[in-house]
Amino acid sequence: MPYRLKKVVDRLSLASALLFLPTLLTGCESEGPELIPVAGQTPQAPSEVSRAVLVYMLSDNSLGKNGYDRDNLADMIEAARDGRLGGNRLLIYHDDSDAECPALKEVTPLGLKILKYYDNSQTSVSSGRMEQAIADFKSYAPAERYGLVVWSHATGWLQTGTTEPLGGATPMWVGEDKGKYMNVTTLARVLDGKGFDYIYFDCCHMASVEALYELRNTAGKFVGSCAELPAAGMPYYDALPSLMPYDADLEGAAAATFSMYDAMEGINRTATMSVIDASGLERLAEATRAIYSLHPQLPRDYKGQEFERPKYGGVPCYMFDFGHYINALFLSSGGKEMTAAYAEWLTALDECVTYEAATPWVFNTIKIDNHCGLSTYILRREADADVNGYRQLAWYTDVASALFDSDDEQ
């Protein structure tokens, strides 16, 4: 059934699936279904499948209050009913605005099966809670390969993961749980060594070269958006057949999301999607540093390709098209050394970005004339690096600092 047509399904019929429980469970800190031994037999551990996917769904925020998590869960259940999980397993860590406490759930053709409840001693954006949820996910769903979907609000690299927004600016982070946020540096520490071969960011602004470089050792591929994504997010019914196989098709999943929004009209026709090969990020960083080491200067009248909508209070844009920016540096400098460096950069970008697509506009507000698949923050002067912890990022240390290092060694 086409994704957009499924939205007319009576929500009352979905409620029974979303509330399906295999056992009666009350309160938090409760385990889900246990293995009941047959007389004379030892209970068997869960059998290994070729792939298991965890959706880390933080919806105790405006997304959950408006029911977007419920819509996405309904799509997942329908996908399971139609055999679109391919015999593999899809689990959800769900911090729901309507629930007393978070729970680990499994998507089945009959609905959501509760595996475990968690207490509220930690927020869902704490490193401890995410670590525990991932460990439980692997215990309940052993697999040859693991994928991760991060579902929430997010706005890229800015290090403002605090309980309150700072200075009136829009805070940028990964995930929101009751007004608390996780910095991308924290996310990188949590996910390092966890064995995910891909991370799909079903949230805004995560196709940031700074953010993905921070996460480069946590997965083999990333899917994300340079700009805002509509609150409805990924069309799970259409995308899961690409995400669930042993050999996941990340480009296919990204294309499913982009195609849905690109087929819409007016303000609803808005999406940017990218797939990034993590193995190419080191080469891209080296190629970028080589350009920055030449200390190119932007023209004073340069206006980059923005990916953020204007905000109240005059907050500046922190997300620009990476390719448009580097091309401007090349055109303003020239010379054999810059020409060679730019050629290497283009090759590195082509190896790193395996899929990119953009609609003509972001919510009919920002015209998209340039989209290379990655965004970046533009430093016109060294003091610009003092914004919201930019200096804490590995990208600044390894790459962007070369813009201002007069003794840089190539």
Among 330, 321, 408, which Cα is nearest to 367's? 321
Helix/strand/coil percentages in the chain, nearest 5: 35, 20, 45
| pLDDT surpassing 90 at residue 33 | no
Its CATH class, for the domain covering 47-279, is alpha beta
Q: How far apart are CA 111 and CA 22, in angstroms?
A: 10
- Looking at residue 96, its pLDDT comes to 83
Question: What is the residue extent of each domain of the chain?
Answer: 47-279, 283-352+376-403
Which of the two residues, 68 and 175, has the higher pLDDT score? 68
- Looking at residue 257, its pLDDT comes to 98
> What would the two tokens of residue 60 be?
């105790």
pLDDT tens digits, 324-367: 999 999 999 889 999 999 999 999 999 999 999 999 999 999 99
- Residue 128's CB: how many other CB atoms inside 10 A? 11
Q: How far apart are CA 235 and CA 124, in angstroms?
A: 24
**Residue 347 vs residues 158, 281, 323, 396: alpha-carbon distances, Å:** 28, 12, 12, 22
**Residue 298 vs residues 303, 304, 326, 334: alpha-carbon distances, Å:** 10, 10, 10, 12
**Mean pLDDT confidence for 272-284:** 98
**Pairing of the two strands 221-224 and 196-202:** parallel
**Mean pLDDT confidence for 132-156:** 93
243 three-class SS = helix
Give the H or E element holding residue 241: helix 236-243
Do 389 and 214 touch, CB atoms closer than 8 A? Answer: no
Q: How far apart are CA 325 and CA 209, in angstroms?
A: 13
> What would the two tokens of residue 325 be?
């920016």
As to burial, measured by CB atoms within 10 angstroms (0-12 exposed, 13-18 middle, 19+ buried), residue 193 is exposed
- Looking at residue 403, its pLDDT comes to 96
- Looking at residue 233, its pLDDT comes to 93
- At 99, the pLDDT band (50, 70, 90 cuts) reads confident
> What would the two tokens of residue 222 be?
């990333």
Amino acid at 358: A
- Looking at residue 126, its pLDDT comes to 86
- List, edge to edge, every strand of the sheet that includes 49-59: 111-117, 103-108, 89-96, 49-59, 143-151, 196-202, 221-224, 272-277, 353-358
| pLDDT surpassing 80 at residue 45 | no
Give the H or E element holding residue 353: strand 353-358
Q: In the chain, pLDDT over 90 holds for what percent of residues?
A: 67
pLDDT tens digits, 188-246: 999 999 999 999 999 999 999 999 999 999 999 999 999 999 989 999 999 999 999 99
Q: What is the pTM of this model?
A: 0.88
Amino acid at 378: I
Ramachandran bin of 388, using left for φ above 0, alpha for ψ from -120 to 50, beta for the remaining angles: left
Question: Please, what is the Cα angle at 62 between 96 and 20, to 5 degrees?
Answer: 25
Lowest mean pLDDT among 7-11, 93-97, 154-158: 7-11
